[in-house]
Chain A
Amino acid sequence: MEAMVEMKGIGKSFGSVEALKQVDFQLNPGEVVALLGDNGAGKSTLIKILSGFHSADRGSMAIKGREIDFKAYDVTVARSLGVETVYQERSLGERQPLWRNVFIGRHRLNRWGLIDVKREKMETMELLSSVLGLRGAGLSPDASVETLSGGERQGLAIGRAMHFGADIIVLDEPTTALALSEVGKVLSFIGSIREDGRSCIVISHDLGHVYKVADRFVLMDRGSTVGDYRKGDITPEELMARMIGLNGEVKP
C-alpha cells in the first residue's frame, strides 16, 4: 500500500541551530505513530514541515504518493491534501466563539461571499455533540473557547480536523499540561481517529500516555530519528529504556 506520508533526508536549520539533520519518516494508512523524544529533539519542527508551516531546507516529501514542491506548499495546500495539525501551542482563538474556531480559514460562504453563520452554527452543534458527547450538546456554538477545559479544546481541534475530512491528523503534545482525567479523554479522541480508518501522528515526550494508542514508535534525538519499532516488536519497558538511554546520552 502507498504511504500516506513519506519524508526522506529532511533537514532544517534556524540560523545556527540545526533542528533537523537528516530525517526519514513514514506514515502508513490507518496507522497511529507516536513520535517520541526529549524536548528540543526536533519533533515539532518535523511536523511543522509536514503541515506546511515551515519549509524544509533539504530532502523530499510525498503525501499519498504526490511529490511536494516546498515552494508551493503551505498550510492551506496541506489541508487540501488532508493534513491537519493540532499544535502544541494553542490552535484555537481563545476569545472567539466555538463556531468561528471550527471554520477558521475555510468558512462556508453564501452566494454573496459572506459567511453562512446559520449553517456554520448548525454544523458546530453537530460536531460538539458528536465529539464532546453530552457535555458538547450542552454547549452553545456562541460560547467562547475560554469556557472549555484543556481536554475539550484538544477534542474540538481533533473533531474539527475530522469534520473537514482530514486523513492525516497530527497531534503535537496533546496531553501535556492536562489533568489525568483529561488525558483519558484525549486518548479516546485518538482512538476515534483510528476507528475512522484515518492515520495519525502523536507527538509526546511521555511514553506512558501514548503507548496504548500507538501502533508504531519513532524515536528522535537531537535532530535525527534514532529508532523505529512496531508495537509487537518491543515491550514498553524496553522502549522506555531506549528513551532513557538517549536522555542519558549512552547511545548504543
Chain B
Amino acid sequence: MRCLWESHRRGILVTLGLIGLLVLFAIASPRTFLNPRIYRSFLSTIPVTAILALGMTLLVVVGEMDLSFPSVCAAAAYVFAKAFLATGSGAVSFVLAIASGAIMGWINGLIVVSIGVPSIIATIGTQFFWRGLILLLSDGIALSLASVRGTDIYSLFVGRMAGEIPVQSLWCLAIALGLALLLNRHPFGDSLLFIGDNRKTAAMMGIPVAKVRIKAFILMGVLSAFAGVLATLELANWWPTQGEGYMLLVFASVFVGGTSAYGGEGTIYGTLIGAIIIGIIEAGIVSAGLAGFWTRLVHGLIIVVSVSIYATMARRPQDR
C-alpha cells in the first residue's frame, strides 16, 4: 500500500482531483452532471486536446516544447479538407494530412536540432508561418465538408459506437496506451528520458541524441495532424482559425497531469487525466450558473495549485 503510494502518488493525486471535481460539479448542478449526455459531449471534445497533450508530454520529457501545434493542426486539416473535396477519398486525404503533419514536425526538428534554435523560439516562428500560409491559401474562408458525413473515414474516426460512444475517445485511449508503452517500455522512450535528464550524458552513453529529438518533433507533428483531422471531421467543417484555442488547454493538461517542466520525467496517464480535468471545467462552471469568463480564472488557479503541489512533493535540493 505504502509502496503503491510512493511510486504512483502523482497519478493517485490527479485521479483524486478529477473525482473530487466531478463530485463537486454533480452537487452544484445535478441536472447536468448526473445525465449521460454531458459525458457523451466530453468524449467527443476532449480527445482532440488530449491527443495533443499526449504528444506534448513526450516533447516536454525530452526537454523541448512545440508552440506550433495549433497551426500544424489547422494546416494538416486544411490538407485533409482540400484533398477530400478534390478526390472524395477519405483514405488518401487522411494519409496526405498525416504526412503533412510529419513534414511540419520534421521541419521543427531540423530548426531546433540541426540549426540549434531553442524550441520555444523556433516553434513560435513556424506557428506564425503555417497559420499565415493557410490563411493565404484559403483566403480566410472556411471549407464545408458536409459530404464527409456518413463516409467510412467519418465513421472510423468520429462515428458513434453502439450509437452512443464517440469513437474518437477510443482512438485517444489507444494512442495513450501506445505512448505509455513507448515512453516507459521502449528504448525510444528511454532515450527521451535520458536526453531530457542530461543531454550530454545521453550522448556519451551512445544514444543518438539528434535523431531521437527530431523524431519526437515528427511524432508531435503527426499527432497534431491527427487531432486536426478529428476536429474537422467532427464538425464536418474546416475553418482557418482552427486550433487557436488549444494552446493553453494542452499545456495545462500536461502540467496538471504531473509531468515535470524540467524534462527527464513525465506521465502519460497523468496527462490523460489532466486533459479530462481541463476539459470538464468549462462545462462545470457554465452549468453551475457562473459566467463563462470564470473558466480562465479557474484554469489558471488549477494549474498554479497543481504545479505547486508537485513542486512541494518533489522537494528537490535547492542547488538545481
Interface residues of A (CB under 8 A from B): 52-53, 74-76, 79, 85, 87, 89-96, 100, 104-107, 109, 113-115, 117, 142
Contacts and interface: CB of A to CB of B under 8 A. Distances in A.
A90 B190 contact: no
A28 B190 CA distance: 36
B197 A104 contact: no
Interface of B: 7, 181, 185-187, 190, 193-194, 197-198, 200-207, 264-265
Contacts of A93: 193-194, 197-198, 201-202, 264
Given A85-B204, A94-B197, 16 more contacts: A79-B206, A90-B198, A90-B200, A91-B205, A93-B194, A93-B197, A93-B198, A93-B202, A94-B198, A96-B264, A104-B207, A105-B205, A105-B207, A109-B187, A113-B186, A115-B186
A142 B7 CA distance: 9
22 contacts: A52-B206, A75-B203, A76-B206, A85-B204, A87-B204, A89-B200, A90-B198, A91-B201, A93-B193, A93-B194, A93-B198, A93-B201, A93-B202, A93-B264, A94-B197, A95-B265, A96-B194, A100-B194, A104-B207, A105-B207, A114-B186, A115-B190
Closest 8 CB pairs of A and B: A75-B206, A93-B197, A105-B206, A114-B185, A76-B206, A93-B194, A95-B264, A104-B205
A240 B293 CA distance: 75
A92 to B, nearest CB: 7
B201 A90 contact: yes
Contacts of A79: 206
Contacts of A106: 206
A115 B185 contact: yes
A75 B209 CA distance: 12
Nearest to A79: B206
Contacts of B7: 142
Nearest to B206: A75
B193 to A, nearest CB: 6
Given A95-B264, A114-B186, A115-B186, A89 B206 contact: no
A179 B62 CA distance: 33
A104 B190 CA distance: 7
A81 to B, nearest CB: 13
Contacts of B204: 53, 75, 85, 87, 89, 91
B197 A96 contact: yes
Interface of chain B, helix or strand or loop or mixed? helix
A166 B193 CA distance: 25
A23 to B, nearest CB: 21
Given A79-B206, A100-B193, A142-B7, A92 B185 contact: no
A117 B200 CA distance: 25
A100 to B, nearest CB: 6
Contacts of B194: 93, 96, 100, 104
A43 to B, nearest CB: 16
Given A79-B206, A85-B204, A91-B205, A115 B197 contact: no
A221 B201 CA distance: 27
A142 B193 CA distance: 15
Nearest to B314: A95
A87 B193 CA distance: 20
B190 A89 contact: no
B11 to A, nearest CB: 15
A205 to B, nearest CB: 21
Contacts of B202: 93, 104
Contacts of B203: 53, 75
A179 B201 CA distance: 23
A106 B265 CA distance: 20
B63 to A, nearest CB: 12
A48 B295 CA distance: 55
B319 to A, nearest CB: 12
Contacts of B200: 89-90
A100 B183 CA distance: 12
Nearest to A105: B206
Q: Which of A52, A74, A79, A114 is the most central at the interface, judged by chain B CB atoms within 10 Å of its CB?
A: A114
A154 to B, nearest CB: 14
A150 to B, nearest CB: 14
A93 B62 CA distance: 13
Contacts of A113: 186
A84 B111 CA distance: 33
A113 B188 CA distance: 11
Contacts of B185: 114-115, 117
A120 B201 CA distance: 20
A241 to B, nearest CB: 35
A114 to B, nearest CB: 4
Q: Which of A85, A104, A107, A117 is the most central at the interface, judged by chain B CB atoms within 10 Å of its CB?
A: A104
A114 B188 CA distance: 10
Nearest to A87: B204
Contacts of A91: 201, 204-205
Q: Which of A85, A93, A113 is the most central at the interface, judged by chain B CB atoms within 10 Å of its CB?
A: A93
B190 A92 contact: no
A54 B194 CA distance: 20
Contacts of A52: 206
Contacts of A89: 200-201, 204
